[in-house]
Amino acid sequence: MPIVESLTVALPAYNEEANIAAMIEEVVRTVAPLASDWEVVVVDDGSRDETAAAVSAVGAREARVRLVRHERNRGYGAAVWTGLTSAGKELVFFTDSDRQFDLGEIRGLLERLPGADLVVGIRSPRRDPLARKINGWAWSSLVNLLFGYTARDIDCAFKVMRKSVVDGLRERVRSRGATFSAELLVRAKGAGFRIRELPIRGHRPRVAGNPTGAKISVVLRAFRELAAFRMTLWREGRSRPASPSAPTT
């Protein structure tokens, strides 16, 4: 029996030809029983492989699967933001297209939404190589140090939010690279949106394709964007909360 009326699933994809068709099929199987009205929006971020063709093939069979294309690669945050802002339903869920999550855990996020505006997953445990785990912990710790506690797993690509969060932040979120999730959450918190967190047990190793988040160029861009965002908040006259409190888990 459906537990929500209206849901968009947004999937950023870059060179995910090996994953994307199976990912969409898994999404459809998962969300169809949970939402009365749903759609899947796949954002092809300038892929050099056949990602877009694979999505179009699925869309030819299922009208609720929609492809949005970036003509060039704009970065992870840009792809996620295009997916969120292209959503046509009342709730928006996004995750990566690499099939690292058990999508059945969407139900838990949706059940946490009453009384909240945004529910953020925590990979628990995180099924990634040790170096990526350390990098993720360090990044989340740095964001929480600079901006006050925001979330335990900043970059966890398993989040659901009300469309009002996207609409309320539409003109404010500017990061389009690896800092995107940090700015989205910090801006949401600063705007008064209610954030909850939920451990996600079904995180699993990537089964195909190659991750890009650990590239030196991506990491350096992330630090530049984070520093620029901190300066932007200073210029806006905002300050770090004196006694930050953690969202409810």
* Beta strands per DSSP E along the chain: 4-13, 35-45, 65-70, 91-95, 118-123, 158-162, 195-200
At 1 the pLDDT is 80
The CATH number fitting domain 4-235, selected from 3.90.550.10, 3.40.50.300, 3.40.50.10140, 3.40.50.740: 3.90.550.10
Whether the pLDDT of residue 243 is over 50: the answer is no
At 209 the pLDDT is 47
pLDDT tier at 175 (50, 70, 90 boundaries)? Answer: confident
Residues 36-53: what's their mean pLDDT? 97
At 6 the pLDDT is 97
- Of residues 71 and 1, the one with the higher pLDDT is 71
Integer CA distances (angstroms), 144 to 86, 92, 186, 240, in order: 29, 24, 9, 10
How is the chain split into domains, by residue range?
4-235
Whether the pLDDT of residue 206 is over 70: the answer is no
| Whether the Cβ atoms of residue 198 and residue 120 lie closer than 8 Å to each other | yes
Token pair 């965002």 is found at 229
Residues 10-37: what's their mean pLDDT? 96
pLDDT tier at 208 (50, 70, 90 boundaries)? Answer: low
Specify the DSSP element, H or E, that contains 218.
helix 216-235
Q: Which residues face 12 on adjacent strands? A: 43
Residues 105-121: what's their mean pLDDT? 96
Whether the pLDDT of residue 238 is over 80: the answer is no
pLDDT digits (tens, 9 = 90+) for 118-155: 999 999 888 788 888 888 899 999 999 999 999 999 99
- Of residues 221 and 3, the one with the higher pLDDT is 3
Q: What is the mean pLDDT of the chain?
A: 89
Quote the pTM value: 0.86
Whether the pLDDT of residue 12 is over 60: the answer is yes
